[in-house]
DNA sequence: ATTCGCTGCCAC
DNA sequence: AAACGTGGCAGCGAAT
């Protein structure tokens, strides 16, 4: 059963059951306590309803704030975005108001701009701005139900409606998890973080000044050049190296590594530590960690491939050194699960290459490929990654030839995606997420026959898009495997015994999931993870020989995973 | 004072 | 070893 929800922004709202034929109206409920009403529904029926609402990131946080969790939802904005993308209309307004306007031939309102929340706790506003884009003369609940029904029809009309429906469901489940993970937060020990920083940079400097170790390195770098140089300034560094008779094309670490000058080792150390200090130093700690939790703002579907992005806090780039600070609460533990070699396994599954699929039945796929490379696993790995990323330079070419002979269908699959991209067509993931169309500029440059002003540029642009679409079919499918997996984990955790505390999903990063669970529930959590990976494989690919083994670690500290 | 493109490095 | 996909973010430096 589906129930449409319109929150009034003051804790109440209206609910209406959606009939099986999607258009008939169930009873309307007007409630002053929306969280209570939703909670009653969740527990009253054996099979929890799927909540239909405009946007999870608007409707769900207040419910989670009332200690409520729902099992399932249909996020109209996210699904609209997926459907628009499918039809080559990536990026068009996706709010329920915009969808309703398109349905009625009215002027389509732009999506409200998302405000960047600076820090872990944005200042509370007296009045939340009304982010609804539905015209004031239109009943919001009515419009929501109409748009939802239309989305259901549009999904049913697709070539693979079942797959797309799964995509819509897991995208929505992801939106629930994103709100919940923001609410629960990653357990974070400021004292441990501070100790890591102090150990590498020296004691915390007073207000904004440079830590001792960085200041020392800067002085020694300047001394090595015989002139004052700001090591943060690529421009100054280029000049300083040129003046020293050691001209460099850039100041990237891997370039500098081979330069013979006494400043180089100091610079490399400086870059490493300076990066730590500016990206995840004390300022970061002050801004992003509150009451022992780091709460990233996840942006579901924020990446074209369907991977998530985050807003602020750099949650998806936490350096290895800083993971020391992620420590489970006393009597709790972290359970970190990572889908090993996910992308090549995905390629094996979607391409239908039986030889590669057989190799992907092993725990170490690359080791199984090594045979074709005279037993060299590393070369097998580089070759396969090159095939998925579109690398042609370096020593990739012979590796690709070897792979093509052993796994022709897999190579054909990514090559075909690249060709589609180069020729301006759309490509799709397994479940139907679709890449953006090329820009008008790209079309003019690449496809316009009578404007070949610059053939080189056109060819380069075409190849660039080819690499993008080549990678898209794999990365986007990997992202949806991860979503199916996460949705299954979320459901599995909700069914666990909570006598010792409620197991929580606390961190998600592309192909990796971290749970925070009572120590006594650790074994159950691991079982949930393994079952979820199996469920994801079956739901997406049915009876495939491809396996998706999980690396699972039960640890007190994330750095030990 | 703010904005924006660029460089460079972190994660997957 | 080399420059190949998706991103976020800090700092610089020039333009506004």
CATH number of the domain encompassing residue A265: 1.20.1060.10
pLDDT value of residue A424 = 93
Nucleotides on strand B lying under 7 Å from protein C-beta: 7-12
At A314, is the pLDDT very low, low, confident or very high (cuts 50, 70, 90)? confident
Q: How many domains does chain A have?
A: 4
Q: How far apart are CA A414 and CA A110, in angstroms?
A: 35
Alpha-carbon distances, residue A7 vs A56, A61, A261 (angstroms)? 11, 12, 64
Q: Which of A265, A279, A270 is nearest to A314 (CA)?
A: A279
Better-predicted residue by pLDDT, A375 or A129: A375
Its sign, for the CA torsion A367, A368, A372, A375, is: positive
Can you give the distance from the CA of residue A252 to the C1' of nucleotide C14 in angstroms?
A: 22
Angle at A504 between CA A502 and CA A507, to 5 degrees: 165
Estimate in Å the CA A67 to C1' B5 gap, whole number.
45
* CATH number, domain with residue A517: 3.30.70.370
Same structural domain, A31 and A162: yes
The predicted-structure confidence for A44-58, as pLDDT tens digits, reads as follows 878 889 999 999 999
Q: Which of A166, A185, A204 is the last residue of a domain?
A: A185
C1’ B8 / CA A410, Å: 34
Determine the average pLDDT of the residues in A502-528.
96
Asked whether residue A264 is assigned to any structural domain, the reply reads yes
| Whether residue A386 is found in the same domain as residue A518 | no
Q: Which nucleotide is nearest to A467 (CA to C1')?
A: C5
Q: Are strands A550-555 and A332-339 parallel, antiparallel or unpaired?
A: antiparallel
Dist CA A266 CA A147 (whole Å):
60
User: What Rg, from alpha-carbon coordinates, does chain A have?
Assistant: 26
Closest residue to C8 by CA to C1' distance? Answer: A314
Q: How many helices (H) and strands (E) does chain A have?
A: 21, 14
The answer to whether residue A229 is domain-embedded is yes
Region A484-497: what's the mean pLDDT? 96
Residues A412 and A506 in one domain: no
Q: Which two tokens stand for residue A524?
A: 């159950």
- Give the integer Cα–Cα distance in Å for A307 and A450: 38
The CA–C1' separation of A278 and B10, in angstroms, is 12
Q: What is the rounded average pLDDT for all residues in chain A?
A: 91
- Asked whether residue A106, judged by its CB, lies under 7 Å from any atom of the DNA or RNA strand B, the reply is no
Q: Are A477 and A430 in contact (CB under 8 A)?
A: yes
DSSP states along A164-219 = HHHHHHHHHHHHHHHHHHHHH-EE--HHHHHHHHHHHH-SPPSTTPPPHHHHHHHH
Assign A311 a pLDDT band (cuts: 50, 70, 90): confident
Output DSSP code: residue A317: G
In a 13 Å sphere around the CA of A413, the CA atoms on its Cβ side amount to 24
| pLDDT value of residue A392 | 80
In angstroms, how far is B11 C1' from A307 CA? 13
Distance, Å, A153 CA → C16 C1': 50
Phi/psi-derived region of residue A163, left when phi > 0, alpha when psi is between -120 and 50, beta in every other case = alpha
Using DSSP, state whether A432 is helix, strand or coil. coil
The predicted-structure confidence for A260-299, as pLDDT tens digits, reads as follows 999 999 999 999 999 899 889 998 999 899 999 999 989 9
Q: What integer pLDDT is reported at residue A20 of this predicted model?
A: 64
Last residue of a domain, one of A435, A454, A477: A477
Pick from A17-31, A182-196, A243-257: least confident: A17-31
Q: How far is the CA of A558 from the C1' of B10 (A)?
A: 17
Joined tokens for residue A28: 């309307």
Answer for A475: CB within 7 Å of strand C. Answer: yes
Q: What is the pLDDT of residue A393?
A: 75
Element (H, E) at A422: helix A408-422
Q: What percent of chain A has pLDDT over 90?
A: 73
Same domain, A244 and A323: no
CA distances from A306 to A79, A222, A426 (A): 12, 45, 15
Cα→Cα distances A361→A347, A385, A493, Å: 13, 18, 27
Q: What is the pLDDT of residues A242-252, one digit of tens each?
A: 999 999 999 99
Report pLDDT for A114.
61
Residues A463 and A495 in one domain: no
Residues A249, A268 within the same domain: yes
**Residue A50: beta bridge partners?**
A2, A72
Give the pLDDT band (50/70/90) at residue A131: low
The structure tokens 């306007």 sit at: A101
Nucleotide nearest to A272 (CA to C1'): B9
The pLDDT-based confidence of A73 (bands split at 50, 70, 90) is very high
Asked if strand B contacts A250 at the CB level, meaning under 7 A, the answer is yes
Per-residue model confidence (pLDDT) at position A506: 95
> Considering the domain boundaries, does residue A291 fall inside one?
no
Residue nearest to nucleotide B6 (CA to C1'): A234
Question: Is A310 (CB) below 7 Å from strand C?
Answer: yes
> Does residue A290 sit within a domain?
no
Q: Flag whether pLDDT at A354 surpasses 50.
A: yes
CA atoms of A70 and A40, how far apart (whole Å): 11
Nucleotide nearest to A258 (CA to C1'): C1
Nucleotide lying nearest to A386, CA to C1' measure: C4
Q: How far is CA A281 from the centre of its chain?
A: 24
Pairing of the two strands A13-18 and A2-7: antiparallel
Query: Is A281 in the same domain as A309?
Result: no
Model confidence at A426, pLDDT cuts 50, 70, 90, reads very high
Residue A232, CB, less than 7 Å from strand C? yes
**Cβ proximity of A501 and A519 under 8 Å:** no
Q: How far is CA A107 from CA A88, A103, A350, in A?
A: 20, 10, 40
Residue A122: what pLDDT?
A: 45
Other beta carbons within 10 angstroms of residue A222's beta carbon come to 17
Q: Is the pLDDT of residue A127 over 50?
A: no
* Nucleotide with C1' nearest the A317 CA: B11
Where residue A222 falls among pLDDT bands split at 50, 70, 90? very high
Last residue of a domain, one of A477, A498, A528: A477
Distance A279 CA to C9 C1' (A): 7
Tokens of A514: 């971290």
The answer to whether the beta carbon of residue A394 comes closer than 7 angstroms to any atom of strand C is yes
The single residue listed with the structure tokens 């998806």 is A316
Size (chain A), residues: 561
Same-domain check for residues A414 and A271: no
Mean pLDDT of A20-35: 80
Report which of A316, A281, A279 is spatially closest to residue A297, judged by C-alpha positions: A316
Nearest CA to A173 out of A336, A48, A349 is that of A48
| Residues A89 and A17 grouped into a single domain | yes
Same domain, A391 and A417: yes
SS3 A459: helix
A316 touches strand B (CB under 7 A): yes
Average pLDDT of the segment spanning A217-226 = 94
Do A407 and A348 belong together in one domain? yes
Nearest to A141 by CA among A1, A67, A31, A61: A31
**pTM for this entry:** 0.94
User: Cα A463 to chain center, whole Å?
Assistant: 25
- Same-domain pairing of A400 and A522: no
Is A11 a member of any domain?
A: yes
The helix or strand, by DSSP H or E, that contains position A6, with its residue range, turns out to be strand A2-7
A138 touches strand C (CB under 7 A): no
Whether A331 is in a domain gets the answer yes
Confidence of residue A124 (pLDDT cuts 50, 70, 90): very low
Residue A279 approaches strand C within 7 Å at CB: yes
**CA–C1' A252–B9 (A):** 9
Report how far residue A143's alpha carbon sits from residue A443's, in angstroms, rounded to the nearest whole number. 37
Q: Which nucleotide, over all strands, has the C1' atom closest to the CA of A235?
A: C12
Distance CA A323, CA A559 (A): 5
Determine the pLDDT at residue A117: 43
Could you tell me the residue range of the domain that residue A79 belongs to?
2-185
Q: What are phi and psi of A340, to 5 degrees?
A: -70, 135
Q: Estimate in Å the CA A93 to C1' C13 gap, whole number.
A: 36
DSSP assignment of A364-421, as one string?
-HHHHHGGGGTT-HHHHHHHHHHHHHT--TTTHHHHHHHHHHH-HHHHHHHHHHHHHH
Is-contact A211 A205, C-beta < 8 A? yes
Show which positions of strand C are touched by protein (CB under 7 A).
1-13
């Amino acid at each position: 059963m589906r129930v449409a929800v319109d929150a009034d922004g003051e804790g109440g709202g209206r609910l209406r059951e959606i009939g099986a034929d999607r258009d008939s109206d169930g009873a309307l409920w007007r409630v002053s306590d929306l969280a209570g009403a939703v909670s009653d529904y969740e527990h009253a029926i054996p099979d929890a309803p799927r909540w239909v609402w405009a946007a999870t990131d608007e409707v769900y946080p207040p419910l989670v704030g009332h200690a409520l969790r729902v099992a399932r939802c249909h996020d109209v904005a996210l699904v609209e975005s997926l459907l628009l993308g499918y039809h080559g209309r990536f990026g068009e307004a996706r709010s329920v108001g915009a969808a309703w306007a398109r349905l009625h031939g009215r002027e389509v309102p732009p999506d409200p701009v998302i405000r960047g929340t600076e820090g872990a706790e944005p200042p509370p506003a007296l009045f939340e701005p009304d982010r609804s884009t539905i015209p004031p003369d239109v009943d919001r609940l009515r419009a929501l139900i109409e748009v939802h029904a239309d989305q259901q029809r549009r999904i049913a009309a697709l070539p693979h409606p079942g797959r797309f429906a799964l995509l819509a469901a897991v995208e929505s489940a992801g939106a629930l998890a994103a709100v919940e993970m923001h609410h629960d937060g990653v357990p974070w020990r400021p004292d441990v973080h501070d100790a890591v920083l102090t150990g590498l940079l020296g004691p915390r400097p007073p207000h904004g000044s440079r830590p001792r170790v960085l200041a020392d390195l800067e002085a020694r770098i300047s001394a090595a050049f015989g002139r004052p140089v700001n090591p943060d300034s690529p421009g100054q560094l280029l000049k300083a190296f040129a003046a020293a008779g050691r001209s460099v094309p850039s100041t990237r670490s891997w370039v500098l590594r081979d330069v013979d000058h006494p400043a180089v080792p100091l610079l490399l150390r400086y870059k490493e530590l300076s990066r730590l200090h500016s990206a995840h130093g004390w300022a970061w700690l002050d801004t992003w960690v509150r009451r022992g939790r780091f709460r990233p703002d996840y942006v579901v579907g924020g990446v074209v491939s369907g991977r998530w992005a985050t807003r602020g806090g750099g949650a998806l780039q936490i350096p290895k050194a800083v993971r020391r600070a992620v420590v489970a609460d006393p009597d709790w533990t972290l359970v970190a699960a990572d889908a090993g070699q996910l992308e090549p396994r995905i390629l094996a599954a979607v391409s239908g290459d039986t030889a590669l699929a057989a190799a992907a039945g092993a725990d170490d796929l690359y080791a199984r490929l090594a045979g074709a490379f005279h037993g060299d696993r590393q070369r097998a790995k580089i070759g396969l990654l090159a095939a998925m990323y579109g690398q042609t330079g370096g020593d990739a070419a012979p590796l690709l030839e070897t792979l093509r002979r052993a796994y022709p269908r897999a190579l054909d699959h990514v090559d075909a995606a690249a060709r589609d991209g180069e020729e301006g067509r759309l490509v799709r993931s397994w479940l139907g997420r679709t890449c953006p169309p090329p820009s008008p500029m790209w079309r003019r440059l690449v496809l316009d026959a009578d404007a070949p002003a610059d053939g080189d540029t056109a060819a380069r642009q075409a190849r660039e898009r080819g690499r993008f679409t080549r990678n898209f079919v794999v990365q986007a499918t990997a992202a949806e495997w991860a979503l199916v997996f996460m949705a299954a984990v979320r459901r599995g955790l909700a069914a666990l015994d909570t006598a010792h505390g409620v197991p929580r999903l606390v961190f998600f990063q592309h192909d990796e999931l971290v749970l925070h669970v009572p120590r006594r529930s650790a074994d159950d959590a691991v079982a949930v993870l393994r079952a979820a990976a199996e469920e994801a494989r079956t739901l997406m690919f049915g009876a495939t020989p491809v396996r998706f083994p999980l690396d699972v670690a039960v640890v007190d500290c994330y750095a030990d995973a």
